Structure 1
Amino acid sequence: MSPLLEAEQAVLGAVLLDPSQLQQLGWLAPEHFGRPVHRALFAAMRKLHADRHPALAVETSVPLSWVTDTVVEAGRHVRGLTASHAHSLISACPRPGHAPVYGRMVLEGAIHRSITEHAIRLHQAARADALQGDVEGSLRCADVLRDVLTDLARRWGTEPRPVAPDTPPAPSPTAAPAPGWATGAEEEQVLLGVLAERPRSMDEVVGWLRPDDFVDPARGEVYRCLGALHHRGEPADRITLLWEAQRRGLLADGTLSRDQIAALCDGVGPGSAEWLGEQVMRSSVTRTAAASARAIRALAEDEALAPGRLINYALHALGPLDEVRTRWQAANGHPPPTPPAPLPNGPPSAQVHAALARSAPRPISPPSAPSGSIPSSAAVRPPSRGHG
């Protein structure tokens, strides 16, 4: 049994023993539990607590009806739940007073699991967009992932901010996609030919298209050479482009060849540089989204990574997609989004409350009762409360 599963059982057992523990677990939600039966039980406890179950008013011992009513309420959403399962959860709780710590473990596991799931969805959306020639699904999933990271940071009690990890967990966003992805290589080739044949067309794309947007690094270097000629106001043709490539060492190291440059400059038909550039940008958006998703998933699957760092590293991994997205919007005539205003007085009170609730010291409970009896919950308030 994994430590995370034991933590889920322990926090449920603690609340079954002492429903007042829910007051210290306001930052924990049913969806944070991995197993459906655990989600149903915690949701049932919260509902009974909100409905002011009679067990909440008892000061000496918790009536057995708290357990049975919880099982009945949860049984409306999952099948096969019995009272014996609830009592096994009670036995799995070493110290009821440690419920906030157990809950923190559950939340930590939920953060890793949720980020992994949303990273997978982002990768799937990027693959679908790449094959369909679209970007909206990728950008929409990226927005959802960012909202999830922000919500998880609030629940964990930390400030969401991009932080670069010490060691990159995945290849850079410009890495070549896996076989089967639509890459727009043909559009790249035609675009370079148009720019070499009609240098004035560079004005249509130079403001938002970058060499890293090309799937082939060699074609990206050709675009860089054309951009350098354009920036210096020098004419662009087969000879000047070949000379610029030589000056940059691209011929010497084998990145480019004379034949490649000659093929770009000869036999180019009509074409719109702006339209072709948008196709290259579209491919760049989906590739970058997929690379960001792979990086975030690799981070989330590292169980040793603390939740605060995981959230901030994941936000940093979305940075390249934000940069490409801004240029994509510029290419399509959309204004860039307004960044959120900085917080004037530090993190919101909800974040501070969540952090304090998870880390506040609790009195140490006495040793658990012998096997066959219900553990005491003296860690919350005297006298000890048990089911009667």
Structure 2
Amino acid sequence: MNPLLKAEQAVLGAVLIDPDQLAHLDWLAAVHFYRPVHQALFAALRKLRSDGHPATGAEGPVPLSWVTDAVDEAGLHVRGLTAVYAHALISACPRPAHAPVYGRMVLEGAIHRTVAQHAARLHQVARADALQGKVEGALHSADVLIGVLTDLARRWGTEPRPVAPTTAPAAGPAVPPPVRANQVAEDERFLLAVLTEQPKAMAEVVDWLRSGDFTDPAHGQLYRCLGALQHRGEPIDRITLLWEAQRRGLLADGTLSGEQLTSLGDDVIPGSAEWLGERVMRSSLTRTAAASARAVQALAEDEALGPGRLINYALHALGPLDEVRARWQTAKGGPAPKAPVTPAAGGPPPARVQAARARSTPHPAPSPPARTGPAPAPASARSPSRGHP
């Protein structure tokens, strides 16, 4: 038994029985239904209502023309819909007055599907950008996903804000396609070689490049060693880099080997540290975008998550991408990064939010018992504490 399918049938049956229920479903759209035949029928019912069908607002029994006209209108856009199925939908509705609750179930399923679809799109585009050495597609897809999350939050009646989940989503980190892996590792080695032989080049990348941007953890550790030497004002060359790595225990635990350090001199080529650093940042950005997308997908596939938590957890999962993106914009000298997601003005009316949530009005909290003793003195009138002027 599929609860979402039952909910779609119930909400349509409720509207076929009582056309006035559409007035309580203004926040629900045809695209929120999963089955195309249900989308077409709900859109047809909406159209009949906007055209002023005699069944809407009329007293007494609902005329049969309400059902037949809806079937005829929906039949213009989808095949296979008959009056028999419309009457089956009527039978599938337990209580027409519960239409807002059924609609909330439909919207909840649509939110999960929509988030999963856009996250999958971001993952695909990020991997394609990684193959081509680009970032524009991934950044655009991330913007679209954030916009979708914000819109869905407003429809559900909640505030979109990043919230860390109680348990991490079960999604491993995404990696760039194997076709580019060798090229990325080569860029990282060349960058480290340039920074080792040209210590002043550290100033070109230190403000926006981080050790986590390197695909190879060993390369990231070498970059941290270079940054530590530069921060302390120590001279930088292959010997001092080896010394710093030894002090950090990287040679003892096998993270690095002496051959890796001494071979940096063999990779020295004339080049710009800034240019190489940007190439490393491109790989980091697409890799982070793919990992964030997989985390959002894992959240969307968790049916136990309510829409509000799903949206806020998804925004939190996109946080690492926002951080890398801000540093990428700094590297490119572009405009300041966008402000965090905030709820847009002019959200849905309170009545629509209440219908979407289908929640009962909470009982007012009991007022605290009145004090029988004298009222406490205001804070401004209290004597200063001992030891303070």
User: C-alpha distance in 2, partners of 1:194/1:158?
Assistant: 50
The answer to whether the Cα contact below 8 Å between 2:175 and 2:290 also exists between their aligned partners in 1 is no
Q: What are the residue-to-residue correspondences of 1:239-258 with 2, within 5 Å? A: 239-258=239-258
Match of 1:350 among 348, 351, 373: 348
**Structure 1 vs Structure 2 CA RMSD:** 1.9
* Alignment-derived partner of residue 133 in structure 2: 133
In structure 1, the partner of 2:19 is 19
Look up the equivalent residue of 2:162 and give its one-letter code: P
Cα 1:95–1:324 shift into 2, 3 Å: same
Alignment partners' CA distance in 2, 1:134 and 1:170: 28
Shift of 1:335: 1.8
| TM-score using structure 2 length | 0.88
CA pair 115-349 structure 1, distance change in 2 beyond 3 A:
closer
RCO comparison, higher one (Cα < 8 Å, 6+): 1
Residue correspondence of structure 1 range 214-293 to structure 2 within 5 A: 214-293=214-293
Residue 381 (structure 1) aligns with:
none
Shift of 1:61: 0.8
Q: In the alignment, residue 82 of structure 1 is paired with which amino acid?
A: T
Aligned mates of 1:342, 1:77 — CA distance in 2: 38
The corresponding residue for 1:315 is: 315
Matched residues, percent identical?
Answer: 71
Q: How many residues align?
A: 359
Give the TM-score normalised by the residue count of structure 1: 0.89
Counterpart residue number, 2:34 = 34
1:359 is displaced (CA, Å) by 2.0
The structural deviation recorded for 1:353 is: 3.5
2:358 is equivalent to residue 359 of structure 1: yes
CA distance in 2, matches of 1:247, 1:172: 32
One-letter code aligned to 1:359:
A
On the 8 A contact 1:153/1:311 being kept in 2, the answer is yes
Amino acid at match of 2:191: L
**Superposition misfits of 4+ residues, deviation over 3 angstroms:** 170-173, 175-183, 340-343, 346-349, 351-354
Deviation at 1:233, TM superposition (A): 1.2
CA distance in 1, matches of 2:286, 2:98: 45
Q: Is the 8 A contact 1:194 1:271 kept in 2?
A: yes
Deviation at 1:349, TM superposition (A): 4.9
Distance 1:353 1:211 in 2: 50
Matches of 2:265 and 2:349 in 1, distance apart?
59
Report what 2:156 is aligned to: 156
Aligned 8 A contact 1:155 1:351 in 2: no
Q: Distance in 2 between matches of 1:117 and 1:166?
A: 24
Asked if structure 2 preserves the Cα contact closer than 8 Å seen for 1:157 and 1:353, the reply is no
Partner of 1:374: none
Which stretch has the larger CA shift, 50-59 or 216-225? 50-59
> Which ranges in structure 2 are unaligned for 5 or more consecutive residues?
362-389
| 2:4 paired residue number | 4
Take 1:224 and 1:238, find their aligned partners in 2: how far apart are those partners?
A: 14
1:45-60 equivalences under 5 Å are 45-60=45-60
> Separation in 2 of the partners of 1:293 and 1:310?
13
CA distance in 1, matches of 2:177, 2:94: 49
Q: Secondary structure at the match of 2:110?
A: helix
Deviation at 1:337, TM superposition (A): 3.0
**Structure 1: where are the runs of 5+ without partners?**
363-388
Say if 1:261 and 1:81 are closer, same or farther in 2 by CA, change over 3 A.
same
